[in-house]
């Protein structure tokens, strides 16, 4: 496994590349004032709202809310994973990506070549399907399911022979290899230390990562034994909650995938491919996780979930819906296809043929319909109580949706079912601001009506170098107010690396809770002229220092009634009270210290 990419390299890289070049090479940009514009590649529109800022090295779409640095753009536009996007950018400016030794999880021994070992196992199973004396039963089984040799080869199907030691003997006696095979779940170690093959007398389905490397296996029994399906356990290279069976093959089959069909088992994926439906993928014995959904929507705009029509299938579909809500924004669509009882995609496609199956996916139910059908079934929408209950049921779910036109439409729909005015629903569900809005102050709004924390963060995002204007420590760090910790971290990061542009600075928050709010704030219009940034920023910090001093004074005064102040604290309080009258002068003095 390769190590982590050092943050310092990402900083340097984002300082070197120009986001305008990166995007313009893929989506031609037009100059508009100090920025560049184009019609957004992430949603369909006629007038450009996709804006690229060369100063901030950041893009933002005012239509659909897509945003990010050059890395983020490549990830979304070219469907790359983070390290791949970094590789691509580094390559474009002739840099080599360094890796931190040891990878993300330190180990006492050197890492084994897991991929090489999985490849050996893969070759072993495939060869057994061709030549093992018992393999006839496996090939009969595959033929019985209507699979051709060609499709078996496309998916790399193999056969794990019966017995307990076929793979074990094949791997040889090297202890390091055997230990790695246990870590990968190819072999199982008994309590007495003896090893045996995990997969026996099964058809083997290699599970591949985006690059086509085998990272695990699924095995299916030939008869009716249990368990019918068995997967490799979690391992250093295999994470079930992230991987989708068939995604590599689907991408290989179609240059520009439009949609993906999510089914339950590998046999469904392979059988559909046999019928020419090559855009199906399967989760690996887990329900669809948010990680799966991110991966799906990074590849396509439309995802069709295929579930059994029975009660269990509907429950699983509802779980998928709940996980999909947070990632749904304009241009991303989720639909649900419920199969007739007793059918799975494999049997259905054989019964009705590929064309009829395709039609069914086109006629599948949109998420919004499934959503309101399920909720209205739980209440009596004819009564006032029932309609109020409906709003309560919908509330936590709609609150998961990102602020978007899609969310507005969902709320309108709720208005229709509940008879409550849309504006009133918007207010009840999302308050005045959006759920992902930047930290709002509890009581610390300045005279201008803006929180100084928010203002300071906004200004730092406009020009990270402003951090150098402020003494260290600035004197507000222990202020108890939302957003203060974030502001402090932003200040520290920008101060340590004053050359960072906004895009590079935001990369430090990739994957963290504040990432979205920061990006949103970064693109909000700023009503401060460029020459006024310094003053405005110092002013905001100064207001925070004053607030901190007031907060501390109150604290000390409160405790002084209980007479529990130390001598030092008494002196501090005295000083704070004396400095209180000319408050502004006090904080200015502090900043000069
Ligand atoms: Zn857009």
Q: Cα–Cα distances in Å, from 337 out to 305, 317, 343?
A: 6, 9, 12
User: pLDDT tens for residues 125-155?
Assistant: 999 999 988 889 999 999 998 999 999 999 9
Look at residue 259 in the predicted model and tell me its pLDDT. Answer: 93
Ligand 1 centre from 28 Cα, in Å? 15
Q: Which CATH superfamily is domain 452-592 in?
A: DNAb Helicase; Chain A (1.10.860.10)
Please tell me the distance between residue 50's alpha carbon and the centre of ligand 1 in angstroms: 6
Compute the average pLDDT of residues 321-340. 89
d(CA 137, CA 222): 8
Per-residue pLDDT at 63: 83
Residue predicted with more confidence, 1 or 414 = 414
The third-level CATH classification (topology) of the domain covering 247-372 is: Dna Topoisomerase Vi A Subunit; Chain: A, domain 2 (3.40.1360)
Q: Is the pTM of this model over 0.85?
A: no
Question: What is the fold, at CATH topology level, of the domain defined by 114-231?
Answer: DNA primase DNAg catalytic core, N-terminal domain (3.90.980)
Q: Would you tell me the crossing angle of helices 114-131 and 175-183 to the nearest 10 degrees?
A: 90
The CA distance from 426 to 412, in Å, is 9
Output the pLDDT for position 572.
Answer: 87
The better pLDDT of the pair 45, 533 is held by: 533
439 Cα–ligand 1 center, Å: 25
Q: How far is the CA of 437 from the centre of ligand 1 (A)?
A: 19
Q: Indicate if the pLDDT at residue 582 is higher than 80.
A: no
pLDDT of residue 256: 75
Q: Mean pLDDT across the stretch 477-495?
A: 90
Residue spans of the domains in the chain: they are 7-92, 114-231, 247-372, 381-430, 452-592
SS3 letters for 164-184? CCHHHHHHCCCHHHHHHHHHC
Separation of CA 319 and ligand 1 centre (Å): 28
| Residue 70 pLDDT | 95
Residue 581: the pLDDT is: 55
Taking residues 294-315, what's their average pLDDT?
A: 87
User: Quick one: 7-92 is in which CATH superfamily?
Assistant: Zinc finger, CHC2-typedomain (3.90.580.10)
H helices of 524-582, where?
A: 533-561, 567-579
- Distance (angstroms) between ligand 1 centre and the Cα of 529 equals 27
What residues sit around ligand 1, an ion, with C-beta below 5 angstroms? 40, 42-43, 61, 63-64, 66
The pLDDT confidence band at residue 251, using thresholds 50, 70 and 90, is: confident
CA–centroid distance, 91 to ligand 1, in Å, is 27
133 Cα to the center of ligand 1, angstroms: 58
Q: Identical fold at 114-231 and 247-372?
A: no
Residue 440 above 50 pLDDT?
A: no
> What spacing in Å lies between the alpha carbon of 65 and ligand 1's midpoint?
6
CA of 399 to the centre of ligand 1 (A): 21
Q: Which helix (H) or strand (E) holds 517?
A: helix 515-522
Calculate how far, in angstroms, residue 333's C-alpha sits from the geometric centre of ligand 1: 15
395-423 average pLDDT score:
91
């Amino acid at each position: 496994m390769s190590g982590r990419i050092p943050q310092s390299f990402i900083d340097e890289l984002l300082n070197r590349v120009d986001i305008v070049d990166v995007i313009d090479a893929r989506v031609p940009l037009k100059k508009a004032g100090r920025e560049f514009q184009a019609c957004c590649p992430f949603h369909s529109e006629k007038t450009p709202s996709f804006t690229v800022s060369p100063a901030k090295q950041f893009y933002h779409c005012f239509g659909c809310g897509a945003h990010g640095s050059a890395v983020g753009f490549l990830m979304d536009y070219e469907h790359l994973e983070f390290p791949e996007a970094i590789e691509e950018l580094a390559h474009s400016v002739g840099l080599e990506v360094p890796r931190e030794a040891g990878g993300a999880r330190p180990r006492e021994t050197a890492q084994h070549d897991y991929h090489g070992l999985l490849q050996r196992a893969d070759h072993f199973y495939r060869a057994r399907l061709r030549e093992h004396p018992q393999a006839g039963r496996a090939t009969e089984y595959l033929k019985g399911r209507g699979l051709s040799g060609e499709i078996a080869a496309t998916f790399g199907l193999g056969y794990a022979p019966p017995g307990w030691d076929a793979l074990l003997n094949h791997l040889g006696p090297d202890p390091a290899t055997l230990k790695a095979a246990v870590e990968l779940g190819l072999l199982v170690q008994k309590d007495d230390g003896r090893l045996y093959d995990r997969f026996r007398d099964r058809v083997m389905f290699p599970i591949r990562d985006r690059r086509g490397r085998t990272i695990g296996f699924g095995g299916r029994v030939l008869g009716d034994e249990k368990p019918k399906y068995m997967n490799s356990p979690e391992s250093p290279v295999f994470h079930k909650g992230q991987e989708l069976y068939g995604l590599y093959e689907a991408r290989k089959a179609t240059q520009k995938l439009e949609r993906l069909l999510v089914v339950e088992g590998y046999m469904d994926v392979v059988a559909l491919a046999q019928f020419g439906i090559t855009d199906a993928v399967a989760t690996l014995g887990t329900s669809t996780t948010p990680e799966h959904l991110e991966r799906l929507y990074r590849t396509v705009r439309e995802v069709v979930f295929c579930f059994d029509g029975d009660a269990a299938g509907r429950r699983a579909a509802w779980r998928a819906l709940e996980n999909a809500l947070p990632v749904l924004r304009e241009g991303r669509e989720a639909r649900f296809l419920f199969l007739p009882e007793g059918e799975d995609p494999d049997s259905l496609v054989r019964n009705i043929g590929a064309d009829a199956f395709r039609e069914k996916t086109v006629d599948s139910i949109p998420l919004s319909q499934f959503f309101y059908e399920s909720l209205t079934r739980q209440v009596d929408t004819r009564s006032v109580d029932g309609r109020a209950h409906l709003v309560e049921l919908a509330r936590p779910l709609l609150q998961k949706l990102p602020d978007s036109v899609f969310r507005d439409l969902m709320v309108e729909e709720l208005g229709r079912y509940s008879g409550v005015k849309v504006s009133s629903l918007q207010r009840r569900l999302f308050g005045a601001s959006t759920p992902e809005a930047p930290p709002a102050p509890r009581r610390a709004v300045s005279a201008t009506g803006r929180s100084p924390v928010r203002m300071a963060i906004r200004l730092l995002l406009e020009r990270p170098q402003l951090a150098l204007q402020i003494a260290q420590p600035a004197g507000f760090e222990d202020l108890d107010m939302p957003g203060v910790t974030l502001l402090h971290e932003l200040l520290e990061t920008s101060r340590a690396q004053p050359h960072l542009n906004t895009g590079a600075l935001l990369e430090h928050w990739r994957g963290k809770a504040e990432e979205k709010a920061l990006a949103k704030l970064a693109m909000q219009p700023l009503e401060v002229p460029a020459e006024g940034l310094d003053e405005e920023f110092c002013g905001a910090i100064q207001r925070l220092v004053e607030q901190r001093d007031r907060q501390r004074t109150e604290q000390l005064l409160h405790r002084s009634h209980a007479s529990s102040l130390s001598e030092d604290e008494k002196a501090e309080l005295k000083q704070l009270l004396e400095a209180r009258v000319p408050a502004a002068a006090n904080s200015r003095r502090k900043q000069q210290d």
